[in-house]
Structure 1
Amino acid sequence: MSHCRTLGGMVTTQVGTGETAVGNRGTTARIVLLASVPAMFLATSSAPTPLYSVYARSWGVSAAATSVVFGAYALALLSALLVLGRISDHLGRRAVICSTLVVQVAAMLVFAAAEGLGALLVARVLQGLSTGTGLAAVGAALLDIDARRGRIANSAAPGIGTGIGALGSAVLIAAGAPRPTRLVYLVCAVVLLVQIAAVSRWSDSTPRRPGAISSLRPGLHAPRRIRALIGAAVPVLFAVWAVSGLFGAFGPRLATQLTGSSSPVLGALPIALVGAVAPVVTFSTGRLGARRSLVYGILGLLAAVGLTAQALWLGHMWLLLAGAAVAGAGFGFGLRGGMDLVLPAVDESERAGTMALLYTASYVGFGVPAIAAGVVQQATGNLTATALGYLAVLAALAVTAAGVLRRTRAPEGTTT
């Protein structure tokens, strides 16, 4: 409730605490709603992983074919980020987010109806295009609503979604759910439809701007004044997403090798732990400076590499899980630090393009090492040697990121 009173001829307005509380609750609700969208995108992305063993038994899908399917997803996602990453700056956030959710539903329906590898490829391409476009638009929308809490939500959502998708799919399989290759995707489709209904009711305050066609020119766009900050953040983002790619791509096979069990839940635990620990770190490290968070992310990555290497040498599953948990901490620190370093210096009209750039670096880190390692493992047939080689690459990435971060100084006037 607001009250007006006169002081020395001036009319002043006092806003009651009730209105402020209602406004805060409304803002929080919008942030939670929008943060659920990238979380769901990442959940639908990781949900197929435990199902590949089912596809292998039913259709004879090989590990090489699985790599091709994942590669199609990654290529489509990166293409969307490069071409459509800035489109929400011109068409409005809500329109783009709703459109990507509709395409995501279509992908789920193709997955559910799939009877072979071709349909999986189509579904993955649709999913990649939707996710790439949607991540940039939602990330910018969260910053539009509340810059500080938007950065936190952007940092927390990927881990939450990845963990829920992989573990939820695995639990349905282990529980003997009927036709899991359909049920998993139909459940996802229902959640996405609820999100479409909710987002369509959200009032989008982002003005439409001319230049939508010119924004489709492929490329990454960074304002000159923040390129030094991006240069410091990108190597860390690349590295921490690469360690997530390790547990996503090789976690199930490493778990089977270490335990002799083909339990889908056990196979999903490593990537689920990464996803569970990362948002906890994100929410609990608000007082750390961005650079310190990036340093902790690098240290977490190195510790995870050491623990995972020990797990492979000694043959202990608990060490693999410990490595995944520490990797999750490094992921949380690194992603939060990268967001906090770069995004405060970005203007409203630059948010979608900058989010697209950060996600491009992240997904190149997530996809390229995992795909390359999959090719090596398929050629050699040696899972342990391939995983150890992957860990060596991760260690080199961490050292490189630390060197770049040490040499980079923040531009005058930025807070890090």
Structure 2
Amino acid sequence: MALLAYAFAAIMVGTTLPTPMYALYAEHMHFAVLTTTVIYATYAGGVLAALLGLGRWSDAVGRRPMLLAGVAFAVASALVFLFADSVPVLLVGRVLSGLSAGIFTGTATAAVIEAAPSAWKTRAAAVATVANIGGLGAGPLLAGLLVQYAPHPLQLPFLVHIVLALVAGIAVLAVPETSARTGRIGLQRLAVPPEVRSVFVIAALAAFAGFAVTGMYTAVAPSFLSTVIGIDNHAVAGAIACSIFAASALTQVAANRIPPGRAVAIGCAILIVGMTILTAALYFSSLGALIAAAVVSGIGQGMSFSRGLAAVAERAPAQRRAEVSSSYFVVAYVAISLPVIGEGLAARLWGLRTAGVAFAIGVAALAAVCLVAILVQESREKLSAST
């Protein structure tokens, strides 16, 4: 379990590694925030392609072959970034990174849970969550420190990640196969049965709001820091991006026993607070408020996403749980791409500060709609139970 958790975290590091480096790429290749958001968002295309096209393969061919394929895509992505000299090359690197993440998201989660010793069975899902989100948070922190304080800022982070990924491959090879290989190769179906739809819509909207924020912090927060706040430090930019993932990971573990409906409502309320703080951070050019917004938003996102998934899984028929969960993840990964591109377009039209404030207001409004919908739904259920 420990070896697989390491492999999971090491591969996810690579998916957020470029975050503090986008400003350097923009400087060297002469592009604006909109191009940065498009480069970032192509990652989601790779993730979705892997989730839908390869999501069921590990049940048929085994966890190890698919995890090794994920390692191969991660190494290929790092090699592309290592020699990147144009925007199209950066796009290729992001797609490869997305493919590695899409394979690992489902396959490594299942492998960690299956490999857990009996004493860890009840905590194995939490271990997988921490490995996943922890790796995402470690990527910008590691890259920020290397870019700011080490030589060769556009190459060294990817050399380090190649080493981490190769060690991950060795870890995967060292672990026995955990799958019974009973599934069939094919495309992952997406569907939401009628009995799940009311819960799914609310949970998916909350996930959309939360993932839009994580996407914004991963793609645009370094630009906020340099352009709006006036601090040009890549290590700080990486730490800010890291903080939202760290807060999310810790919250997902801590909130595991809160009833799903209540947790999603609380998460949406916290997300609204986070967006209010973000608006103040941009308006007053405050570093402290920008960091606070990341932490608060991470708490809201972690709670609403993880417990929203639990709510959907509870209502879904056992034989259709995989396709419902996949539908939920598709919504989440669309959320880290389209809103961020919208942010880039708005920045071109209105300026980065105004675009950021508009983004925060939009996310807060979506979270408020989810919160009201949950409260109305709970009121109806209580009324129905009393009558």
TM-score range for the pair, normalised by the shorter chain length: 0.7 to 0.9
**Residue number in structure 2 paired with 1:242:** 212
1:127 to 91, 97, 112: 97
- Cα–Cα, structure 1 residues 186 and 353, in superposed 2: closer, same or farther, change >3 Å? farther
2:227 to 239, 246, 257: 257
**One-letter code aligned to 1:131:** A
Instruction: Tell me the distance in 2 between the aligned counterparts of 1:320 and 1:197.
Output: 39
How many residues align? The count is 376
Larger Rg: 1
Write out aligned runs for 1:17-416 (5 A). 30=1, 32-145=2-115, 148-175=122-149, 177-209=150-182, 211-212=184-185, 215-216=186-187, 219-222=189-192, 226-227=196-197, 229-343=199-313, 353-380=323-350, 382-406=351-375
**Residue number in structure 1 paired with 2:385:** none
- Cα–Cα, structure 1 residues 243 and 59, in superposed 2: closer, same or farther, change >3 Å? closer
**One-letter code aligned to 1:386:** A
SS of equivalent residue, structure 1 residue 166: helix
SS of equivalent residue, structure 2 residue 270: helix
Q: What is the TM-score normalised by the length of structure 1? A: 0.81
SS of equivalent residue, structure 1 residue 43: helix
- Cα–Cα, structure 1 residues 86 and 350, in superposed 2: closer, same or farther, change >3 Å? farther
Aligned partners of 2:243 and 2:294 also within 8 Å? yes
Q: CA deviation at 1:372?
A: 1.1
Aligned partners of 1:308 and 1:319 also within 8 Å? yes
Q: CA deviation at 1:190?
A: 0.9
- Offset from partner CA, 1:343-392 (integer Å, 9 cap, x none): 46778876654553332221111221111111221233x11110111011
**One-letter code aligned to 1:234:** A
Q: What is the TM-score normalised by the length of structure 2? A: 0.87
- Cα–Cα, structure 1 residues 133 and 173, in superposed 2: closer, same or farther, change >3 Å? same
Q: CA deviation at 1:281?
A: 2.0
Instruction: Tell me the distance in 1 between the aligned counterparts of 2:93 and 2:305.
Output: 28
Q: CA deviation at 1:50?
A: 1.2
Q: CA deviation at 1:71?
A: 3.0
Aligned partners of 1:159 and 1:274 also within 8 Å? no
**One-letter code aligned to 1:273:** S
Aligned partners of 2:78 and 2:161 also within 8 Å? yes
For structure 1, the 5+ residue unaligned runs are 1-29, 412-416
Q: CA deviation at 1:321?
A: 1.3
